[in-house]
Amino acid sequence: MGHAYIIDAIRTPRGRGKQGKGALSDVHPQELVAQLLVAAAKRQGWRPEDVDDLVLGCVSQVGDQGANLARNAVLSAGWPQEVTGTTLNRFCGSGLQAVNFGAMGVMSGAQQLVVAGGVESMSRVPMGSDGGGQDGGNTHLRARHFQVPQGISADLIATLEGFGREDIDAIALRSQQRAEVAVAEGRFARSLVPVVHPETGRVLLAADETPRAGTTAAALARLEPSFVGLGAAEAGAAGETLDALALARHPQAGAIRHMHTAGNSSGLADGAGLVILASEDHVRAQGLKPRARIRAMATVGSEPVIMLTAPAAASRKALRMAGMDVRDIDLWEINEAFAAVVLQTQNALGLPSERVNVNGGSIALGHPLGATGAILLGTVLDELERRGLSTGLVTLCISGGQGIATIIERL
* Cβ-contact 333, 397 below 8 angstroms: no
Beta strands in 122-214 (DSSP E): 195-196, 203-205
* Contact yes or no for 346/311 (Cβ under 8 A): no
Q: What are phi and psi of 128, to 5 degrees?
A: 90, 5
DSSP 8-state secondary structure symbol assigned to residue 234 = B
- Cα separation, 116 vs 53, in Å, equals 8
d(CA 27, CA 34): 11
The reply to whether 92 belongs to the active site is yes
Q: Please tell me whether residue 397 adopts helix, strand or coil conformation.
A: strand
b (16+ CB within 10 A) / e for 25-48: bbbbbbbbbbbbbebbbeebebeb
Residues 258, 260, 282, 367: which is the catalytic one? 367
Q: Which of 28, 258, 282, 397 is flagged as catalytic?
A: 397
Q: Tell me, rounded to whole angstroms, the distance of Cα 93 from its chain centroid.
A: 6
Say how far apart CA 184 and CA 207 lie, in whole Å: 11
Q: For 122, phi and psi rounded to 5 degrees?
A: -80, -15
Kindly report the number of other CB atoms within 10 A of residue 94's CB atom: 30
- Active-site pick, 28, 58, 92, 260: 92
CA distance 169 to 366: 16
* Burial label, 251 (beta-carbon count in 10 A; 0-12, 13-18, 19+): exposed
The most distant pair of C-alpha atoms in the chain lies apart, rounded to whole Å, by 65
Angle value at C-alpha 180, between 311 and 6, nearest 5 degrees: 50
Nearest to 76 by CA among 128, 32, 141, 120: 32
The helix-helix angle for 29-43 and 69-76 (nearest 10°) equals 60
| DSSP assignment of 112-140 | SEEEEEEEEETTTS-TTTTS-TTTTT-HH
Tell me if 249 sits within 8 A of 305, measured CB to CB.
yes
Give residue 185's Cα distance to chain centre. 23
The number of C-alpha atoms within 13 Å of 71 and in the hemisphere containing its C-beta is: 7
Which residues does the annotation mark as catalytic? 92, 367, 397
